[in-house]
Amino acid sequence: MKATRVFQLTALALVVVSAVQVGWWLFDQHAYTVEKVSAARTAYTEQVAAAQALLDSGAAPARVQQLLPGIAISTGHASLAPALAEALTTEEHRRYRQYAWEGSFFLLALAACIAVIARALREEARVREQQDSFLALVSHQFKTPLASLQLSLETLALRAPSPEAARPLIDRMLADLARMEQMVTQILESARLERGRVDLKSEPLQLAGAVARVTAQLEERARQEPISISVDIPSTLTVVSDPLALDVVVRNVLENALAAVRSAGGGRITLSARASEREVELLVRDSGVGFAPAESARLFQKFSRLRSGASGYYGTGLGLYIVRRLMELADGRVSAQSDGPGKGASVRLIWPAALMSAAAPPQPAAGQETRP
């Protein structure tokens, strides 16, 4: 890592020095051309003057012409032969063009090199910063369930409770393990999405089925909080997505809503959906802690944790990032909206609708055929 950086910085320094040298060469070439052309002009001017002096002293024009071949004489007046004057100008322009082309080509190439190296350095710094904050966040997020797990285990060891008294401790430990497992899953999912190592299918899927599967998993936890989840999704709505990705998207958005409502001390989550000609929209509204409207775009960035947001009981700062990436891969979109902290929030997921032209008109039976 460090050696690469030293190499990059050395290369950057060399390229900058080369650019300065090319710049100097350009300047030098220009000065040289100007000097030479002006010297030639002075020499010719002197020849014209000499020819005129010879003519004035009575020398035969033919003799003068023979002595000074570059001079044209007409009616006793000496001047520079037009062909020579033109050749001089042409040569001057040719030289200008030559070094201007060569020089600017090299300068452009060097500028491109500088841009590439600077970009790599900046990117590396950004990645390093992101890795640091990722490590800090992940270690914090892991240490909390780990601390809870250790506390429960040491409580069991220290106090040797009766089986009934031990039950809630064991439940807590299992939930802590589940939390850590979910974090590992999210970290792996986001790493795979980051590297583009995903092979997503595009199939028509019944939205209500996916939502029902996810809410069934979360209902028990929601009831304990207490959080009510109400779902109103027509079973005819079909979206085009990957079956696993659809479940992950719905689960992450719901987990996020649960955390927001839990931080507000309980409340309500409602899921509703509607379809237009080309799109299907799922709206997840919660009565949770909400967020400042200006933060809505930041929500979907990697490792973003909002100051005014949920306590992040389950949060790795990756959940909504995964949602955004998966929605992009499914040609869909996602956005979040809140009127401010304490005022709840809503997340809008939009998928392309399944084309029904080839298939039979939408009917409930077709929708029930959901993938595992």
The residue ranges that bind other proteins (CB under 8 A) are 136, 139-140, 143-152, 154-155, 158-159, 169, 172, 175-176, 263, 289, 307-313
Residue 269 C-beta: closest distance to other proteins, Å:
19
Phi, psi of 71 (to 5 degrees): -105, 135
**Which C-beta is closer to other proteins: that of 172 or that of 302?**
172
Query: DSSP secondary structure string, 161-198?
Result: --HHHHHHHHHHHHHHHHHHHHHHHHHHHHHHHHTT--
Residue 150 C-beta: closest distance to other proteins, Å:
4
**Which C-beta is closer to other proteins: that of 77 or that of 159?**
159
| CA distance linking residue 240 with residue 331, whole number of Å | 9
**Which C-beta is closer to other proteins: that of 28 or that of 154?**
154
**Which C-beta is closer to other proteins: that of 4 or that of 150?**
150
**Which C-beta is closer to other proteins: that of 199 or that of 220?**
220
**Which C-beta is closer to other proteins: that of 197 or that of 307?**
307
| CA distance linking residue 251 with residue 215, whole number of Å | 8
Place of tokens 């979206």: 239
**Which C-beta is closer to other proteins: that of 176 or that of 286?**
176
Residue 226, preceding peptide bond in cis (omega within 30° of 0):
yes
* SS3 category, 279: strand
Residue 344 C-beta: closest distance to other proteins, Å:
16
> 118, 125, 130: which is closest to 16 by C-alpha?
118
**Which C-beta is closer to other proteins: that of 106 or that of 142?**
142
220: part of which helix (H) or strand (E)?
helix 207-224
Residue 162 C-beta: closest distance to other proteins, Å:
13
Angstrom distances, CA of residue 69 to CA of 54, 57, 105, 312, 349: 14, 18, 40, 93, 87
Cβ atoms of residues 314 and 182 within 8 Å: yes
Residue 292 C-beta: closest distance to other proteins, Å:
13
How many other C-beta atoms lie within 10 A of the C-beta of residue 115? 11
Residue 309 C-beta: closest distance to other proteins, Å:
7
Residue 346 C-beta: closest distance to other proteins, Å:
20
Residue 190 C-beta: closest distance to other proteins, Å:
21
**Which C-beta is closer to other proteins: that of 152 or that of 190?**
152
Q: What is the dihedral of CA 113, 118, 120, 123, to 10 degrees?
A: -150
Q: What is the dihedral of CA 209, 211, 216, 218, to 10 degrees?
A: 160
Cβ atoms of residues 287 and 251 within 8 Å: no
* 272 strand-pairing partners: 232, 283
> 263, 262, 278: which is closest to 331 by C-alpha?
278
Residue 345 C-beta: closest distance to other proteins, Å:
15
